[in-house]
Structure 1
Amino acid sequence: MTAKCIMVLGTTSGAGKSWLTTALCRYYQRQGLKVAPFKAQNMSNNARVVASANGQGEIGSAQYFQSLAARAVPDVRMNPLLLKPEHDTHSQVVLMGQVHEALSRMAWRGRSASVWPVIAQALDDLRAENDVVVIEGAGSPAEINLSASDIVNMRVALHGDAACLLVTDIDRGGAFAHLYGTWALLPENERALIRGFVLNKFRGDASLLAPAPQMLQDLTGIPTVSTLPMWWQHGLPEEDGVFDDRSIASGAVDLTVAVIAYPRISNLDEYQPLKKVPGVRLQWVRSPSELVALKQTDWIILPGSKNTSGDLAWLRTQGLDAAVAHHAGQGGAVLGVCGGLQMLGEALIDPHGVDGNAPGLGLLPLVTVFEADKTVRHTRSRFAQNMKGIWSALAGVEVTGYEIHHGQTQPHAAMQAAGNVARSVMPVGLAWQNPAGNVLGLYLHGLFEDAAALQALFGTRFNKPVPTLDTVFDGLADFIEQHFEPGVLQGLLKP
């Protein structure tokens, strides 16, 4: 078996590559084909734990969802290289699911020679096991300053002899110039792989685009094979996890959840299910004034972070530390997840230079010590029966999620001896509450993706089934089937 490769390229970041790749995975799977996704290199702090040769490893969340859309078992080969930004000029390098310290220290332009054989082998292995491999590019294939060290766009396309779609965001303006300019900057052998242009996020009457698609085809020889209407509520998490009010369902709001969006936020896709809960408004917040503008904030969430000490310093610079403390002091619900849990404690201690030392927010009497080795694992655990206060609905609930963290957290010994005790509400150092019960910190990602947790927290709000990811994937496949020119998607499978 040697799979046909179909690749989604974009004129820019944010053009629509990830969701279109996901839609194609489900479309071809529904044709009875065995499908796998692939992205050679992803730069994202949104990651999931999947199977690897060493047990468990990390891949980008986008490829995780694409594998589910393909009804395939998620595998590190689907995203062999993951870059997790820690600072503006430094990323942690994850190769085949595992942190690779030597590559993390290497200048990024020098990595390509080292990692390309691994990337090529991962793609070859997936091709040998599947009928179709749907590949996602990164950024733009016409970034000519990067072409000599390319390992994610046209080098991959040439290696897999991929039939390529080039997608652009027409809502930004300049779509035809973006398409033509990208095509024009590619060498002839790479242009030959492009089989169609896709206009994404179009508002209005598509007939008004004429004669531009034909003019573009006259210049390039490549047809515009689809004009996809603007679609805000498809239900798939955005790759960077952030969304705005246009994606929030209409209706009366009786619970407002504010998620603090610090610079190195991570794993924000796990909050996507909250958008589907009736009566819940989910809002990203970057300043105290944005909290005030919400009029009423019921929950504040401190999400994961790829640089906890740095994001904690940012929190203080913005004045959000005082705002969170005030909210907690008034009895408001505060939830810290992973890095957010670490921030809620008294101190961050970093003997290995992993993240940085810092005083915490002091809302939980805990201390976090950063270890050199990273914890990466699936976890199934149960909340204690004696959960208190706002979070008592979770008492006794068994949940499934995943852990990705360097920090190891324990009660502050001196404060514990003085009677200031953080209540452990999960086994093996996974979660703690303050005595009042309104502040909860846990290492487990995926709480709001767990059906049992959602039912416990919001069960009375559901008067109809919440859409599952599977229904989302089918909706994406239906959408592209409706809006691509007839025969195009099947034609991409032909030599």
Structure 2
Amino acid sequence: MGKAIMVQGCTSSAGKSYLTAALCRVLSNAGVRVAPFKAQNMSNNAGITPAGLEMGRAQLVQAAAARVTPDVRMNPVLLKPEADTRSQVVLLGQVNRELTALPWRERKAQLWPHVQGALHSLLDEYDVVVIEGAGSPAEVNLRASDIVNMRVALEAQAAVLLASDIDRGGSFAHLLGTWHCLTTEERARLRGFILNRFRGDPRLLAPAPEWLEAQTGVPTVGVIPMLDIPLPEEDGLWGDAPHPGGEQDGFVAIARLPRVSNLDEFAPLGERARWVTSPAGLSGANAVILPGSKSTAADLRWLRATGLAGAVTRAAHAGVPVFGVCGGLQMLGRVLRDPQGVDGGQPAEPGLGLLDLDTTFAAGKTTALTTFTDPETGLSVRGYEIHHGQTQAGSGVETLAPGLLWRQGNVRGTYLHGLLENPAYLERFLGWAGLRPPQPLASLDARLDAIAARVGAALDPRVIGEFL
């Protein structure tokens, strides 16, 4: 069986996905056959494998870091929140309606055998599996139903690194408190603490790391600096990132929907992007984007409740380019029909009527990597599809690519996630908006190399040496 190293966190957003990607690239650079693994993700940031199956975006990035083909075994369970108390269950890349219908705690016993199978198949195939935890292992109320943190560590006999976000403060209390919440067997898996996102001189931390080791017997094996090298993560990294100065030269307003999905596809907009939640945010916008949504009808009602629906409509009539992606495309149409309750909406929900399109939600989900030539620009573009909606075009809209891309005046809509990640199409889109392209984002591969170099240099060499 291959070896396993696991990154857990004291809290959500401690940087687990980021550190896991860094370790994958560090080990790959050392010639190790390495694969990522996360038993269960809860995120609407998803992507598609070459096999046409769905998995968490963070694990797709980690697979790229490991230089391996993305495989749903790397993320066997993906939970996609549809409401505060409801999530769609994607098991090994496909929606499982039976598990989706079960109460939260009743799912775990049925999911664990799939987690075990995926984990052991990767351990059999690779030299090292780098495992990412979820939330915190200190959530003792969830211990009995755990399938993602210490239960996985024990199953894989993993060396666990526990990370805390020191930029938020309270790290030593978080680390000590989490250690106290673990059982004796679980503590035995801990190999080191990591202080993540540190600003300043690490020498100023003394004597706290020594004090912590005296309390727990666990050394601090890394002080990772705050890195301004972005990666797509599980949740809304790009939605939360400010873009100061974008308004000076014009901006693209993106609706921050409550159930927004696939935020990272708009990262190439850089400082041109401004996420908005009210009509005032659209004032002066050079273009408007309605992004994807996991609950399209509910988010469409939110648009109306906030007044954004009217503001988007007025902007479109004023000639401002409006672009809808997946759920945003569906909202721009005339009607959303949901006869089977797939989207959780009403049997029929009126759209904004800016595109002559009708959408019906089907039980089956379209998941595919797609490449096509856009006749409007002559560009060959690629992206990925994840949608239940089946959309029919009326006579008032121009079909640029059947089933994928439509235009009606200055309003466009697409089912293709990642369209703006094609540099030439991004430049053309910004040209329609009268904007210059932002400073281009370095390639994902270059960013992964830079992160690996910085994280690898900040870790105790023995952490990696154990796996070479």
Fold similarity call, TM over 0.5: yes
Match of 1:469 in 2: 444
- Cα separation, 1, equivalents of 2:8 and 2:385: 32
Cα gap change, 1:440 to 1:244, in 2 (>3 Å)? closer
- Which residue is equivalent to 2:307? 319
In the alignment, which residue of structure 1 is the partner of 2:53?
57
For residues 431-481 of structure 1, the C-alpha deviation after alignment (integer angstroms, 9 at most, x for no partner) is: 1111x2x11001111112224423544699579875100001001101112
Q: Deviations over 1:363-420 (max 9, x none)?
A: 1111111111111111111212xx3xxxxxxx111111111111111124xxx3xxxx
Does the CA contact (< 8 Å) of 1:398 and 1:452 recur in 2? no
Count of paired positions: 462
Q: How many Å separate the matches in 2 of 1:451 and 1:6?
A: 36
Distance in structure 2 (CA, Å) of the matches to 1:147 and 1:353: 33
Deviation, 1:203, is 2.0
Q: 2:385 matched to which residue of 1?
A: 403
Cα separation, 2, equivalents of 1:161 and 1:186: 16
Secondary structure of the structure 2 residue equivalent to 1:222: coil
CA-to-aligned-CA distance 1:191-223 (integer Å, 9 cap, x gap): 011111011122222222211111100000001
After superposition, residues 250-399 of structure 1 pair within 5 angstroms as 253-275=248-270, 280-292=271-283, 296-355=284-343, 356=345, 357-384=348-375, 387=376, 395-399=377-381
Distance 2:407 2:134 in 1: 41
For the residues of structure 2 that align with 1:270 and 1:237, how far apart are their CA atoms?
A: 9
1:444 aligns with 2:416: yes
Query: 1:81-480 alignment to 2 at 5 Å?
Result: 81-231=77-227, 233-243=228-238, 248=243, 253-275=248-270, 280-292=271-283, 296-355=284-343, 356=345, 357-384=348-375, 387=376, 395-412=377-394, 416=395, 421-426=396-401, 428-434=402-408, 436=409, 438-454=410-426, 456-457=428-429, 466-480=441-455
Distance 1:82 1:481, change over 3 A: same
- With over 3 angstroms needed to count, the CA separation of the structure-2 counterparts of 1:246 and 1:203, relative to structure 1, is farther
Report if aligned partners of 2:238, 2:263 keep a CA contact under 8 Å in 1: no
- Deviations along 1:227-250, one digit per CA (max 9) or x if unpaired, are 12222x212124213436866487
Check conservation: 1:3, 1:130, Cα contact below 8 A. yes
Q: For the Cα contact (< 8 Å) 2:239–2:263, is it kept in 1?
A: no
CA-atom RMSD in angstroms: 1.9
**d(CA) in 2 for partners of 1:244, 1:214:** 38
Q: CA separation in 2, counterparts of 1:325 and 1:463?
A: 27
The DSSP-based 3-state class of the residue aligned with 1:111 is helix
- The equivalent of 2:8 in structure 1 is 9
Secondary structure of 2:130's aligned partner: strand
Opposite residue 219 of structure 2, the aligned amino acid is: P
Question: Which stretches in structure 1 are left out of the alignment for 5+ residues?
Answer: 388-394
Distance 1:375-1:321 versus aligned 2 partners, 3 A rule? same
Deviation larger for 15-24 or 222-231: 222-231
- The separation in 2 between residues aligned to 1:454 and 1:349, in whole angstroms, is 31
Asked whether the 8 Å contact 2:427–2:436 carries over to 1, the reply is no
Asked if the contact 1:253–1:281 (Cα under 8 Å) also holds between the matched residues in 2, the reply is no
Q: Provide closer, same or farther for how the CA distance between residues 250 and 207 of structure 1 changes in structure 2, counting only shifts above 3 A.
A: farther
Displacement after TM superposition at 1:291 (Å): 3.0
Residue identity matched to 1:490: G
For 2:353, what is the secondary structure of its paired residue? coil
Counterpart of 2:19 in structure 1 is 20
C-alpha separation in 2, matches of 1:360 and 1:211: 60
CA distance in 1, matches of 2:342, 2:137: 33
Unmatched tracts of structure 2, length 5 or more: none
**AA partner of residue 351 (structure 1):** P
Judging changes above 3 Å, is the alpha-carbon distance between structure 1 residues 457 and 291 closer, same or farther for their aligned structure 2 residues? closer
SS class of match (1:311): helix
In the aligned structure 2, how far is the partner of 1:301 from the partner of 1:452? 18
AA in 2 matched with 1:440: R
**Pair 251,329 (structure 1): closer, same or farther in 2 beyond 3 Å:** closer
1:71 equivalenced with 2:67 (yes/no): yes
Look up the equivalent residue of 1:371 and give its one-letter code.
Answer: A
In structure 2, relative to structure 1, the CA distance for the partners of 1:243 and 1:457 (3 Å cut) is closer
| AA of the residue aligned to 2:120 | D
- Using the alignment, how far apart are the partners of 1:8 and 1:131 within structure 2? 17
Q: Secondary structure at the match of 1:324?
A: helix
Moved more, 235-244 or 218-227: 235-244
Whole-Å separation in 2 of the counterparts to 1:360 and 1:229: 46
1:487 aligns with 2:459: no
Q: 1:222 to 1:250 in 2, by over 3 A?
A: farther
Q: Counterpart of 1:445 in 2: which secondary structure?
A: coil
Q: Distance in 1 between matches of 2:222 and 2:421?
A: 33
